[in-house]
Amino acid sequence: MPLERRDHDVVLLGATGFTGALTAQQLARHADEGTRWALAGRNRGKLEALRESLGVDVPLLHADVTDEGSLRDLAASTRVVTTTVGPYVQGEINHDGSGLSLESDDTTVALTDFVVDPGDSELTGTVWANGEIAEEEASLFSLDGRTLEPLRSVDDGAVLEGTTVRLTQEAADLLNDTFGTDALEGGFEVGVAKIVVRTEP
């Protein structure tokens, strides 16, 4: 169908997620009067709740990215589809041999062999207490990409900097138990990650 005869100008797919809800808020606040926009997703109840929270009167459309037909119908109904459906990235980055160690009096805790899941924005690893494995594949840090800076090219590769690294509640509980303290809380900011990728040998 010609673009000008389609039902919607913009459809937001993935609107029920974290990034999608922020995008929906921007559309609700700033879309020009007369813009025909709609919210799309796979869960009608969540879409209805979102629409209510936004206080807008826009159509709700069904679309599931695992259902090709629903995507075709969605695309045919609008001039533009904008999507925040995740995860964009799937897989794992294994940092074998990586780690850090924490010491207090006669207790040493080592966090080693970090594995980053960019889809879940989480870093897991092995926890050692005084040389003994206390937990494997423990959830250690959450990775908040909202502070991420654009990828920078450098002479021999690229630098990705700015992900805020925070202690998970699970890690905070484990460390508090091991060190006999209540000083740590989930969400504690550990630092800002910098990833350097060398592309030249």
Binding site for ligand NAP (CB under 6 A): 14, 16-20, 41-43, 46, 64-66, 84-89, 119, 121, 145-146
The full DSSP string for 30-67 is: HSPTT--EEEEES-HHHHHHHHHHHT----EEE--TT-
Which residue, 122 or 135, has its beta carbon nearer to ligand NAP?
Answer: 122
- Shortest approach of ligand NAP to residue 84 CB, angstroms? 5
- Shortest approach of ligand NAP to residue 73 CB, angstroms? 13
Which residue, 66 or 153, has its beta carbon nearer to ligand NAP?
Answer: 66
Residue 15: Cβ within 10 Å count:
29
Find, among 180, 145, 174, the residue nearest to 162 by Cα.
Answer: 145
Find, among 118, 200, 192, the residue nearest to 158 by Cα.
Answer: 200
- Shortest approach of ligand NAP to residue 107 CB, angstroms? 34
Give the SS3 label for residue 122: strand
- Shortest approach of ligand NAP to residue 125 CB, angstroms? 20
Which residue, 86 or 186, has its beta carbon nearer to ligand NAP?
Answer: 86
